[in-house]
Amino acid sequence: MRDYKDLVKVAEGAARRAAEYLRAAVRPGWQAWTEKSQHDFVTDIDRGSEALIAEQLQRNVPGSLVVGEELTPALVAQAEVVWIVDPLDGTTNFLHGYPEYAVSIGCAVGGALCAGVIHDVTRDTVYRAWTGGGAWIDKARLKVSTVTEPKRALIATGFPFRQLGTLETYLRQFAAITRDVSGIRRAGSAALDLAHVAAGNFDAFWELGLAPWDIAAGVVLIREAGGLVTRFDGNEDVLNHDNIAAGNPAMHAWLLKTLGSV
Ligand code: IPD
Ligand code: CA
Ligand code: CA
């Protein structure tokens, strides 16, 4: 039986080291960006961060497997302990010097998500959670918000800048949600969006086309903070799916209803 708190400590150490590396890195000029897919750029900094994280995770937990966005992206469960790593979430922000990006490390044991750490790089703030242990920022316990009325809600989202085939659907969702809420934010890091839902700063979040490393840590944070994360049909198996809705229980229910109506 693994102690989830120990796994969080290992993830926290690796995320901290990567965050230091990212803060010290010289921001690459646009000539050094590689287009991974349409509108999606990557640099040696993303890969360097992931190599540091993987080394530290596997040194501390021998036999564990790393699934990382840049170097080892296949989501396979061939080990008891699987780390799901985004070494730089918010690469576009990082490349433009917009200070909203993070390191995200989720952990699954026996196929179930059980620990998550999100390090907000520019604020040097750490969000952590483990199953049964709550969600925390430093020594403060995190709780999702108590807002129940859409008109008072601040909702986070991500635009489908890569998968343009979903743009029409997304714009219909955006219109329906915008009509009812107090505000919508698109800050550019899904991991931080989820951390802010866990912290009660955002009341809900939705996005199409996310990857496991964007959400693994955030899912644990939100669930431990009393919130819900599901597919748009309410299914809780989110790691194997890319359309995600999250929020406090009331706003999550409203979000699913609204998304289902367009
Ligand atoms: C992206 C960010 C962004 C979200 C994209 C992600 P990356 O991750 O989380 O907010 O809208 O869907 O791919 O590429 O910067 O790691
Ligand atoms: Ca990401
Ligand atoms: Ca990334």
Instruction: Please state, in angstroms and rounded to a whole number, the distance separating the CA atoms of residues 159 and 174.
Output: 9
99 C-alpha vs ligand 3 centroid, how far in Å? 15
132 C-alpha vs ligand 2 centroid, how far in Å? 26
The position carrying tokens 């949600």 is 177
Length of the chain as a residue count: 262
Cross-strand pairs, 118: 104, 127
53-102 pLDDT per residue, tens: 999 999 999 999 999 998 887 877 689 999 999 999 999 999 999 999 99
Same-domain status, 83 and 116:
yes
- Using CA atoms, how far residue 261 sits from 113, 153, 162, in Å, is 30, 19, 24
CATH number of the structural domain spanning residue 52: 3.30.540.10
Q: Which residues contact 34 (CB under 8 A, 6 or more apart)?
A: 41, 42, 43
Same-domain status, 157 and 230:
yes
Strands in the chain per DSSP E: 34-37, 40-42, 65-68, 81-89, 102-109, 112-120, 125-130, 134-137, 140-141, 154-157, 183-185, 204-207, 228-230, 244-247
Same-domain status, 129 and 237:
no
Same-domain status, 46 and 100:
yes
| Pocket of ligand 1 from Cβ distances under 6 Å | 86, 89-92, 158, 188-190, 207, 209-210, 214
Same-domain status, 95 and 137:
yes
Find the domain containing 122 and state its range.
Answer: 4-141
Say how many CA atoms lie within 13 Å of 180 toward its Cβ: 14
Same-domain status, 23 and 58:
yes
What pLDDT does 192 receive? 98
DSSP, collapsed to helix, strand or coil, labels residue 121 as: coil
Same-domain status, 133 and 154:
no
110-169 pLDDT per residue, tens: 999 999 999 999 999 999 999 999 999 989 999 999 999 999 999 999 999 887 889 999
Same-domain status, 74 and 191:
no
For residues 97-110, average pLDDT: 97
Q: Among 96, 121, 141, which residue terminates a domain? A: 141
Tell me how many domains the chain contains: 2
Q: What pTM, to 2 d.p., does this model score? A: 0.97
Same-domain status, 131 and 213:
no
1 C-alpha vs ligand 2 centroid, how far in Å? 30
- Residue 112 burial by CB count (10 A; 0-12/13-18/19+): exposed, middle or buried? exposed
Here the tokens at position 24 are 């010290």
For residue 213, give the ligand 1 atom closest to its CA: 16
Same-domain status, 165 and 75:
no
User: pLDDT tier at 255 (50, 70, 90 boundaries)?
Assistant: very high
Q: Among 97, 112, 141, which residue terminates a domain? A: 141
Same-domain status, 127 and 254:
no
Same-domain status, 169 and 115:
no
| Vertex 253 angle, CA 251 and 254, to 5° | 60
CATH number of the structural domain spanning residue 231: 3.40.190.80
Q: Among 141, 164, 195, which residue terminates a domain? A: 141
